[in-house]
Amino acid sequence: MHALELVRDQIGAYVYPVHRLDRATSGVLLFALSAEAARELGGAFARRTVEKRYVALVRGAPPDSIRVDHALSQEGDKPPQPAATNLRTIARYGRYALVEATPETGRTHQIRRHLKHLSCPIIGDVRYGKGDHNRLFRTRYGLHRLALHASSVTLDDPATGSAVTIRAPLPEILRTTLEALEREAAGAA
């Protein structure tokens, strides 16, 4: 069952999708209760007044902070589209790191592709990542998913105009994987 159907069935009303995620990504999803609210929120996304924050576990040594301004090609014969993502390293675990990503644009697989562009693919990414590292995390930590999580979305409430931040806690498997990496890094120090 899709998230839209689950939410609709839980609240007993039709909902309008506003913020979607790649199938393998966890975190904040946004739905509106009216077509008007969905249009207003969709406009805020189009105007780039919505701040989205993601966390990702990556292989490699990303810079402490960087703005990746790298156009991304689309399917077909369309020219590459401008794309920018701000990245900040939160923690380092030897060959791996936890980064926070704040996209300025909303291109398909933007964060995943920008991290690959930096030679820091996301763990569990079967399309842009590395199979040997993905297998290691499946075997050692039981992580059988993409290590990308939409941690928060900040926007202006269409009804009040007040800034609202919606947060989603890390799924347990990501939390326990990070805890294990922290223990291992502390033991190696």
**Residue 7 domain-assigned (yes or no):** no
Rounded to whole angstroms, the Cα distance separating 154 from 49 reads 9
Annotated catalytic sites, by residue?
22
Rounded to whole angstroms, the Cα distance separating 15 from 51 reads 22
Q: Give the count of domains, the chain.
A: 1
**Residue 21 domain-assigned (yes or no):** no
**Residue 11 domain-assigned (yes or no):** no
Residue partners of 83: CB distance under 8 A and separation at least 6: 69, 70, 71, 72, 103, 105, 107, 110, 113, 114
**Residue 124 domain-assigned (yes or no):** yes
Rounded to whole angstroms, the Cα distance separating 70 from 107 reads 11
**Residue 91 domain-assigned (yes or no):** yes
Q: What are residue 59's phi and psi, to 5 degrees?
A: -90, 140
What string of pLDDT tens digits covers the 189 residues of the chain? 588 888 888 888 889 998 888 888 999 999 999 999 899 999 998 899 999 999 999 999 999 999 999 999 877 778 899 999 999 999 999 999 999 999 999 898 999 999 999 999 999 999 999 899 999 999 999 999 999 999 999 999 888 889 999 999 999 999 999 999 999 988 876
Q: What is the pTM of this model?
A: 0.91
Containing domain of residue 156, as a range? 49-188
Return the structure tokens found at 120. 């820091």
Element (H, E) at 165: strand 163-167
The CATH number assigned to the domain holding 109 equals: 3.30.2350.10
